[in-house]
């Protein structure tokens, strides 16, 4: 094998290994809850959101997190609760497992909310539609006016969720 072919084969192999290593791990909400821990479902906690939001309390504030994915590139489907941005793009949002979480019903436990930041922002066409967010997840928590999260994610991409 010539030196050139060896060099090219090494580059191609390195690229293939790095590309495979950087493929996001597809995770779902149940993957963010430690085995044996029971998650509180807040979807039916309020019969009407009108006037009830002042009494909403986020359950299980000390809900345990899963460290398996800490520092890994993952993709996770969910719904957006916008925090920062403008009419064109959002740069910071909460990713939640179902529509209306944190807005129409009490927030889910922290291990079921991910705080997402995307440096350049992304357009979100409709808050009613599920998306898939890809990025590096961390077990670092975040707290804001509407909820505490168990995870943060530095987003690198967003796509529509497709069944």
CATH number of the domain to which 94 belongs: 2.40.50.870
Angle, CA of 59, 36 and 79, to the nearest 5°? 50
Q: Please state, for a pLDDT cut of 90, what percent of the chain lies above it.
A: 58
Q: Is residue 19 part of a domain?
A: no
Cβ distance 65 to 37 under 8 Å?
Answer: no
| Global pTM exceeds 0.85 | no
Give 79 or 41, the one with higher predicted confidence.
Answer: 79
126/79 Cα distance (integer angstroms): 10
What residue numbers bound the domain in which 65 lies?
24-160
Per-residue pLDDT, 45: 59
Instruction: Give the count of domains, the chain.
Output: 1
- 3 domain-assigned: no
In a domain, 7, yes or no: no
80 within some domain = yes
Strand, helix or coil at 96?
A: strand
Segment 106-153, tens digit of pLDDT:
899 999 999 999 999 998 888 899 999 999 999 999 999 999 999 999
Domain membership of residue 84 (yes or no) is: yes
Quickly list DSSP for 129-161.
S-EEEEEEEE---EE-SS-EESEEEEEEEEEE-
Is 11 domain-assigned?
no
Q: Mean pLDDT across the stretch 10-26? A: 55
Whether the predicted pLDDT of 71 surpasses 50: yes
For residue 46, is it within any domain?
yes
In a domain, 112, yes or no: yes
Question: DSSP letter at 101?
Answer: B
CA 107 to CA 96: how far, in whole Å?
9
Average pLDDT over residues 40-60: 64
Asked whether the predicted pLDDT for residue 7 surpasses 60, the reply is no
Check residue 61 and report its DSSP letter: T
Q: Is the pLDDT of residue 6 over 70?
A: no
């Amino acid at each position: 094998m010539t030196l050139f072919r060896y060099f090219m084969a090494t580059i191609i192999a390195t690229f293939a290994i790095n590309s495979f290593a950087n493929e996001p791990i597809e995770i779902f909400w149940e993957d963010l809850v430690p085995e044996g821990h029971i998650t509180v479902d807040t979807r039916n906690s309020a019969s009407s959101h009108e006037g009830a939001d002042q009494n909403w309390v986020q359950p299980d504030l000390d809900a345990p997190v899963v460290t398996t994915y800490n520092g890994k590139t993952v993709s996770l489907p969910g719904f957006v609760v916008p925090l920062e941005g403008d009419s064109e793009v959002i740069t910071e949002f909460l990713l939640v497992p179902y529509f209306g979480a944190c807005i129409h019903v009490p927030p889910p436990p922290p291990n079921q909310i991910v705080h997402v930041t995307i440096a350049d922002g992304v357009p979100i066409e409709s808050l009613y539609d599920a998306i898939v967010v890809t990025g590096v997840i961390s077990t670092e928590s975040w707290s804001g006016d509407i909820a505490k999260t168990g995870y943060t994610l530095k987003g690198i991409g967003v796509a529509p969720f497709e069944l």
